[in-house]
Amino acid sequence: MRGEHVREAFPWKGEEKVGQSEQIREEQIRMFRLRLRADLTAYRLGHTPLTREEAFALIERTRAEILELFPEKGEVFDLVLRPRFLRVLNERALAEWGETDSVN
């Protein structure tokens, strides 16, 4: 009963919660897409035949796609994901291409 009085006194409160939950859901979907894209990129870098140029192009395409999901987060990409991708390339270079071709 008390809840009904609160809703009557503040009818917009329920609508605000719905809007927030939709925003949270959209954020979760974008985060899922980011993780999926990053994981797929890391997999491709480590397991598919690519030249160095193709690998670097893949990293840049991934960066652009992630910036579409999260504009203005390029610095975060450069601090977190780019080193992950370069580490995968270095491991692959050492294993397949020889030590002189590592990405450092």
Domain range list for the chain: 2-101
pLDDT tens string 27-60 = 999 999 999 999 999 999 999 999 989 999 999 9
Q: pTM of the entire structure? A: 0.73
pLDDT tens string 51-70 = 989 999 999 999 999 999 99
User: Can you tell me the distance from the alpha carbon of 65 to that of 34, in angstroms, rounded to the nearest whole number?
Assistant: 9
